[in-house]
Structure 1
């Protein structure tokens, strides 16, 4: 039954129901340099020319991260292959490229399409809070989720500008994200 719920989304993706100019533009992202699950450097310039969807997770999370990672996998299944997916850790001390590679494998991530990024702690936190304008708290969490972070997906256009924020939990928001991402691609 859940697969049938995605039929209208797929139809809208196929037809490209409206223009990308209908999607607001929020902020340009700052330049960054992070490391992916294969140990390769990834910069904003490397993602230029592609639409991409970002989220923030950490692999030892016992709270919302497994849920939003499962939703990202769903996006991997329904979005066209030219749209990139980018999961950025908020726990770089633990989430090494090797740990991220294992996590990516556990969640069925296509390595050439779905990147898992880590890097310098301060650079990651600045990117989350100042670049993506998302909340992050490393001291107010619980035992299950010691790092409190946003569960939003962020849509980024080919120029590196944020074009939308979407709940990573609500199904209707994911459908809207899929439609908007296709319109930008």
Structure 2
């Protein structure tokens, strides 16, 4: 039954990912430094977005490692004008200091580029993810985990999603860097 539940949730995530327009609605939330970060703050430069949470026992650590690999590639190519934004899908647990401790566990080349966001309700992030990224976010009733998509989203400097990538397996690191560079040109 648990496997069937997960299969249904994954199917819904895939359907939602294929639907809708690509404009991101405004937001303003606290990051891991306790600073407010808004969509307006991010405008003017491309940014990579994803959804994670700090007590995740499955996909989030590999996704974060993959995002670090992308940042390493961006640095190797001399790309500097970007941000990385991760929306916590467990905002009750993921206070700014918890997010800061989580990020410290990874060998992040430039932590100043990262904004791990929190400061909203579970329902709010589930709705925001669905409405803006066509991403699925749902508490797993059988555990303390949150079921969520594993995509990375490249958002352009005007706040529109330009590309969507798998952030868990077969992550196209070089393609993401190339797409980022094209947005900067």
TM range (shorter): 0.7 to 0.9
CA distance in 2, matches of 1:175, 1:167: 13
Partner of 2:148: 149
> Are the aligned partners of 1:167 and 1:174 in contact in 2 as well (CA < 8 Å)?
no
> Are the aligned partners of 1:81 and 1:113 in contact in 2 as well (CA < 8 Å)?
no
Structure 1 stretches of at least 4 aligned residues deviating more than 6 Å after TM superposition: none
Which of 64, 72, 95 does residue 67 from structure 2 map onto? 72
Partner of 1:88: 87
CA distance in 2, matches of 1:50, 1:106: 27
CA distance in 2, matches of 1:112, 1:149: 26
Q: Deviations over 1:1-25 (max 9, x none)?
A: xxxxxxxxxxxxxxxxxxxxxxxxx
Q: CA deviation at 1:172?
A: 5.1
CA distance in 1, matches of 2:33, 2:129: 22
Q: CA deviation at 1:155?
A: 0.6
Partner of 2:128: 127
Which of 18, 28, 50 does residue 33 from structure 1 map onto? 28
Task: List alignment gaps of at least 5 residues for structure 1.
Answer: 1-25
Partner of 1:56: 51
SS at match of 1:31: coil
Q: Deviations over 1:132-151 (max 9, x none)?
A: 111112135x64x7211000
Q: CA deviation at 1:181?
A: 1.3
Number of residue pairs matched by the alignment: 158
Task: List alignment gaps of at least 5 residues for structure 2.
Answer: 1-20
Q: State the Cα RMSD in Å.
A: 1.6
Name the TM-score, length of structure 1 as normaliser. 0.80
